[in-house]
């Protein structure tokens, strides 16, 4: 049996790293909230196909929209942490990172009444220090490693090598790493786990790549964001061309592509990250 781990990073359109220079965190409360509606669209889509997913929820969002967290839980999905303020892990001090990890998990557990077992770093900004803190704070797993090395924000393997000696699923002192799934061809790593790459590749090509990954390992881990299903979100002018392309490419097609993905792989079992580990 091969499994598909469908994961969602719950953050709003103005919280993405590409827009941080235009929307620092002290402006967020004045921005238009669209995350609840967009997440509901995704929840409805998953329900149609009887898919269980893992939602990595930003603590800042959970504080303001606890009903959304409860709705995610009520629909049978796993609630995990995406940190509190969407700060890159290597840009803040150890004490700030520890506080971020503790604060976000506490908020989510107070809402759901259930332990939060998993974490995903904003923009996959994984570090060895992050792994140490997750273990110290009692997290069961992390899903922050993306081995596509050409992205400027992703964490690097040399900082977490002792946790992932085989660059794959690995348990170290009780903490498990669930990496994002990428395509390995000819010694090259091609980003294939979701996000902007899912919106960029032609769907027939994406489907073939996922099938190839599932032939090589027992699971495929996919990620997306609620704002990616929202082509009507505010358009921000003055962005760098590469960041503008990365953020807005094919937003109008995301919902249909996800529907096709869920339909085409319905013979596989979609389970949460915790269910997979258990």
The CATH number covering residue 200 comes to 3.20.20.370
Tens digits of per-residue pLDDT, 54-72?
999 999 999 999 999 999 9
Q: Are 233 and 13 in contact (CB under 8 A)?
A: yes
Residue 154's domain spans which residues?
3-277
Taking CA 76 as the corner, what is the angle to CA 72 and CA 16, rounded to the nearest 5 degrees? 35
Residue 238: pLDDT band (50, 70, 90) is confident
pLDDT at 166: 43
Q: Structure pTM?
A: 0.93
Angle of helix 94-112 relative to helix 128-136, nearest 10 degrees? 50
**pLDDT > 70: percent of the chain:** 91
Q: Are 18 and 243 in contact (CB under 8 A)?
A: yes
Average pLDDT over residues 67-82: 98
Residue 189: pLDDT band (50, 70, 90) is confident
CA-CA distances (angstroms) from residue 268 to 12, 105, 219, 241, 251? 30, 31, 10, 38, 26
Work out how many domains the chain is built from and give that number. 1
């Amino acid at each position: 049996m091969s499994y598909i781990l469908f994961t969602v990073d719950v953050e709003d359109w103005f919280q993405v790293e590409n827009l941080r220079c235009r929307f620092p965190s002290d402006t967020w409360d004045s921005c238009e909230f669209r995350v609840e509606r967009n997440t509901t669209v995704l929840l409805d889509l998953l329900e149609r196909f009887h898919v269980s997913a893992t939602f990595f929820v930003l603590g800042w969002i959970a504080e303001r929209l606890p009903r959304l967290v409860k709705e995610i839980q009520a629909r049978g999905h796993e609630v995990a942490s995406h940190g509190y303020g969407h700060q890159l892990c290597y840009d803040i001090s150890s004490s700030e990172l520890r506080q971020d990890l503790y604060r976000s998990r506490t908020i989510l557990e107070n809402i759901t009444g259930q332990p939060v077992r998993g974490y995903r770093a904003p923009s996959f900004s994984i570090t060895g220090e992050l792994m140490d803190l997750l273990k110290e704070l009692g997290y069961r797993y992390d899903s922050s490693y993306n081995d596509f090395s050409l992205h400027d924000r992703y964490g690097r393997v040399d900082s977490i090598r002792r946790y992932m000696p085989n660059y794959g699923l690995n348990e170290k002192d009780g903490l498990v790493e669930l990496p994002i799934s990428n395509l390995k061809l000819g010694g090259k790593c091609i980003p294939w786990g979701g996000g902007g790459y899912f919106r960029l590749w032609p769907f027939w090509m994406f489907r073939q790549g996922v099938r190839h990954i599932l032939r090589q390992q027992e699971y495929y881990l996919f990620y997306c964001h609620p704002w990616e299903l929202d082509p009507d979100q505010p358009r921000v002018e003055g962005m760098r061309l590469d960041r503008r392309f990365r953020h807005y490419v094919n937003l109008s097609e995301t919902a249909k592509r996800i529907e096709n993905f869920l339909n085409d792989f319905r013979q596989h079992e979609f389970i949460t990250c915790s269910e997979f580990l258990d």
